Each structure stands twice: as structure tokens, then as C-alpha cells.
Amino acid sequence: MRYLPLTESDRRAMLDVIGAKSVDELFRDVPQSARLAGPLPLPAHQGEMEVERAFTRMAGKNLSAGCAPFFIGAGVYRHHIPAAVDQLLLRGEFLTAYTPYQPEVSQGTLQMLFEFQSQVATITGMDVANASMYDGATATAEAAIMACRITKRGKVIVSGGLHPHYAETVETSLRYTEMEAEILPPDPLGMEDMIGRVDGKTACVIVQNPGFFGTVRDLRPLAALCHEAGALLVVMVAEPTSLGLIESPGAMGADIVVAEGQSLGMGMNFGGPGLGLFATREKYLRQMPGRLAGQTVDVDGRRGWVLTLSTREQHIRREKATSNICTNSGLCALAFSIHLTMLGGTGFGRLAELNHLAATRLEQKLKAVTGLRVLPQSYYNEFAVHLGDDADAAAVVDALADKGILAGVPASRFYPTWPELKPVLILAATETNTEDDMDKLVAALKEVV
């Protein structure tokens, strides 16, 4: 078997050194009743060619985004990823390393994480960022818990513009704790108002910007409202390319910024793995979850990097840790960081402009579809549309899929019990969408709606 270097004669020689007659003898601590006598009745080993064939067959049963006009967003965005990103992260020294516990042989990962933290802090407008969380949903939940820890309050207000998967993850994470989440109804128009909701029990308000239905907000009034009540403002950014065009959450008053980093470097991968970004103010540093790479010097006085402030973490603090997170998303952080390095300050702004431009082009073209109206007053590269009172967005998406068009996400997929959302479709456009794609979408919508 190609991944197993030992030969039968190796095994015999090793058993002689051990003083055992067979490998079975080494399993003698396993209760007799639980020992399996031989391989389980499952398929036997296969060569590369056979396995590759099986995966090619499974891949062939899917309609991949590159084969269709594609307008799906809602938390996972399709962007062009430069070829160098994947080539570099495939370097075995990055790919096959563990968490950098031995800093002298992990300076590559550690310097990369330090650069990543610097990039994340810069784009979010915050003081410090950690070395990543699992994804945007879990990062949001961790932010809620951290806000409760800081304020010593238990109420978390979740905007109706937060991605419903994130809201569900927050709710689940708080389910058996002293904390509770108040989840506001879905907000397709972006009209939600927090005035009167935030009070002395509120630990934080969590909003997504741009919102799940598209709305881009000026967060400054909300930040002022939260701070007046002694609550924190947690801002979730599901589409980080937007930070090239919209003022950073930090500059608008956020206390904790979390984001889903998938947009940069990673591709869609059917939604996983993601990359949770987590940034905050310096004063909350010691309340942060997750790993941190920090700068130091070696015994010769040369600059280097180590994992630091680990007294917050589970391997030291156990049940008193800020989080149970251990493995995070190191390689995804590398992909994100390489992509952002390739964009640079110049490209990051340009990419955001191209995305917004694509969405405005799409909006213009959609005017040709009778009865369709764009719901949010503002947007970045994604917006909800209403297809008409009797329309069923899920059926429309289904019919368009049959025509080979992946036409957004029906809101009912997330909100099956909200009849008023049945006609709502969420459409995204990025730099990858061509005019031709948009024309095909519009033509098909005209036929179906």
C-alpha cells in the first residue's frame, strides 16, 4: 500500500526487537470482546487511478460555477484567485506543518501569521487581530461571548441583517450559558432601528455590513448608541472585499470586528473550510479567543516570531480559557494573506470598485424584468430583489438552474416560515461576472418570472 513504507520483513524485524510474536499481541490491552478479528466488510484499497476516477464521476454530477452564469453570494463569494496563491500554499513546508509550537522551525508560518494579523487589523481598522477562527459564523459567536465577558452583561442583540447561519450559530453557542441572544426579524429593506432596544443589560449589538440582504450602513450612529448604553458594537463583514471601498468598521466605531475571509484566496469549496477573521481594540486584547503570533528576538538579538499570550488559551487555562479553539484555519489564513499581498493597497481598492460596478450594472439590466424591484436602498456587490407578490423565488431559481443558470439564493431557503420572503431572491455580482452572464440571467428571468 503506497502510503505504508513497512515491508513484511521490516515488521518481523521490529517485532523481534519489541519481543512480540505478532502485532495482535500489541493490542492485548484492548478488551477481548471489542477486538475485531479482521478488516471490516468495506471496500478494499484502491490505486490512484481508481480513486481519481470515482471523484471525477462525483464531480461530474455537479454543475460547477465556472460552467454557468453565476450570481450566488449570501456569505460565500466567487472571485478570481491568482494562480500563485494555490501554488504557494501547496509548498509542503506550509501545507504539512503543524501549529507552530516550536518557533525555531516554524518561522515561516509565524511570520506569515504576523503579516496576516497586520493585514486583518489594517483592513478592519482595528488595533489587533488574531491568527484566525474556523469561519465567519463561529467568529461571530466568539465575539458575542467575548462581549459578554468584557461587559459582564448577558444580552446579545442580533441584527436581522446578520447572515441567518451566523445568527443560528450565535444562538446555539449561547444556548446553555447564562447569556442569551435576541434575534431580530429578517430585514430585507435595511430599515432596522436599534433605538429603544439597547439598554443597560445589553452586552453587544451584532450587525453585518454590508447586510445579508445587501444594505450598506453608516455604522457611526449605531456605535454611538451602543457606547452610550455601555454596550459593544460587533460588526460582521461577510464580504471582506467591500473593505476596499467602504469605511472600515473600526473607523466607524466598532469594538470587535469579525469577518468571513473566504472571498480572498480560497475559492468556494461548497462552503468549507472558511476563514474566521477576528479583530478588536488593544484594550480588549487579553479577552480575545484564538492564537496570536507576536514579535520578539532570539538569543542573538535577531527579530523573530512566536505564539504569544497563550495564558488566554485552553491548553494553559483549561475550563477558564477564553475559548476552546485549538486547530484554526492556518492554511486558509495563508491563502487570504497571499491574495491580499498580491492585491496590495492599489488592487484592494480597485477590486472593490469592480465588484460594486458589477452589481450596479446588474441592477440596471434587471430593470428590464417586469415586476422585479431591488429592495435595499444601498448595496455593495449583492442585493435582495422582490420578484412580485405571487412569485416564488425558489421555483424561479430551480427553473433557471434547469437552463444552466445559477441565479442567486431564494430567501426562503433560510426563512421557510416567512411567507413575505417567498418572492425574495438574493443576487450577487463580482468581478467574475461578464456582461454576457448578466444578459443571460435577465433574459431567463424575463421568461420565467
Partner 1 sequence: MSEPMTISGNRALLIEEKLIFELDNPGSVAIDLPEPAPFDLERLGDAPRRGRVALPDLSEPQVVRHYTRLSQKNYGIDSGFYPLGSCTMKHNPRLSEKVARLPGLADLHPLQPQKTVQGALEVIDSLAHWLKELTGMPAVAMSPAAGAHGEWCGLMAIRSAHEDKGESHRRRVLVPESAHGTNPASAAMCGYSVDPIPALENGRVDVAALKAKLGPDVAALMLTNPNTCGLFETEIIEIAAAVHGAGAYFYCDGANFNAIVGRVKIADLGIDTMHINLHKTFATPHGGGGPGAGPTVLSAALAPYAPVPYVVHGAGGLEMVEGKRAGAKPFGRVKGFHGQFGVFIRALAYIMSMGSDGLRQASSDAVLNANYLLASLKDDLSASFDGPCMHEALFDDRFLKDTGVTTLDFAKAMIDEGYHPMTMYFPLVVHGALLMEPTETESKDTLDQFIAVVRGLAAKAKAGAAEDFKAAPRLTPRRRLDETLAARSPVLRWKPAAE
Tell me which residues in 179-208 interact with partner 1 (CB under 8 A). Answer: none
Compute, in degrees rounded to 10, the torsion defined by CA atoms 399, 402, 408, 414: 70
Q: Name which position in 369, 387, 409, 445 contacts partner 1 (CB under 8 A).
A: 409
Size of the residue set binding partner 1 (CB under 8 A): 213
Q: How far is the CB of 234 from partner 1 (least distance, A)?
A: 16
* Cβ count within 10 A of residue 240: 24
Q: What angle do CA 52, 57, 63 make, to 5 degrees?
A: 125
- Tell me which residues in 98-117 interact with partner 1 (CB under 8 A): 98-109, 111-115, 117
Contact 384, 188 (CB under 8 A): yes
Contact 154, 178 (CB under 8 A): yes
Q: Name which position in 227, 230, 287, 347 contacts partner 1 (CB under 8 A).
A: 347
Residue 416 contacts partner 1 per CB under 8 A: yes
Per-residue DSSP letter, 329: -
Residues sharing a CB contact under 8 Å with residue 214, sequence separation 6 or more, in sequence order: 190, 375, 376, 378, 379, 380, 382, 383, 384, 426
Q: Name which position in 159, 241, 248, 263 contacts partner 1 (CB under 8 A).
A: 248
Comparing CB distances to partner 1, the nearer of 48 and 436 is 48
Q: Name which position in 340, 369, 385, 411 contacts partner 1 (CB under 8 A).
A: 340
Burial class (CB in 10 A: 0-12, 13-18, 19+), 354: buried
Residues for the chain: how many in total? 449
- Cα torsion 264, 270, 273, 277: sign: positive
Comparing CB distances to partner 1, the nearer of 287 and 314 is 314
Rounded CA separation 114/259 (Å):
18
Whose grid coordinates read 416560515? 417
- Tell me which residues in 270-289 interact with partner 1 (CB under 8 A): 270-274, 285
Residue 325 contacts partner 1 per CB under 8 A: yes
- Tell me which residues in 356-385 interact with partner 1 (CB under 8 A): 356-357, 359-360, 363, 377-380
Q: How far is the CB of 56 from partner 1 (least distance, A)?
A: 7
Phi/psi at 182 (nearest 5 deg)? -105, 110
Q: How far is the CB of 75 from partner 1 (least distance, A)?
A: 6
Residue 314 contacts partner 1 per CB under 8 A: yes
Q: How far is the CB of 384 from partner 1 (least distance, A)?
A: 14
* Cβ count within 10 A of residue 258: 32
- Tell me which residues in 121-150 interact with partner 1 (CB under 8 A): 121-123, 127-129, 131-132, 134-138
Comparing CB distances to partner 1, the nearer of 54 and 368 is 54
Pick the stretch among 32-40, 153-161, 194-202, 365-373 that binds partner 1 (CB under 8 A).
32-40
- Tell me which residues in 42-101 interact with partner 1 (CB under 8 A): 42-48, 51-52, 54-67, 70, 72, 74-76, 78, 82, 84, 86-101
Rounded CA separation 106/336 (Å):
19
Residues sharing a CB contact under 8 Å with residue 388, sequence separation 6 or more, in sequence order: 371, 372, 423, 449
Residue 213 contacts partner 1 per CB under 8 A: no
Q: How far is the CB of 157 from partner 1 (least distance, A)?
A: 18
Rounded CA separation 351/176 (Å):
42
Pick the stretch among 39-47, 154-162, 193-201, 384-392 that binds partner 1 (CB under 8 A).
39-47
Rounded CA separation 94/35 (Å):
38
Give the per-residue contact string, 430-449, with partner 1 (x = CB under 8 A; - = no).
Answer: -x------------------
Q: Name which position in 143, 147, 206, 216 contacts partner 1 (CB under 8 A).
A: 216
- What cell was used for 179? 447569556
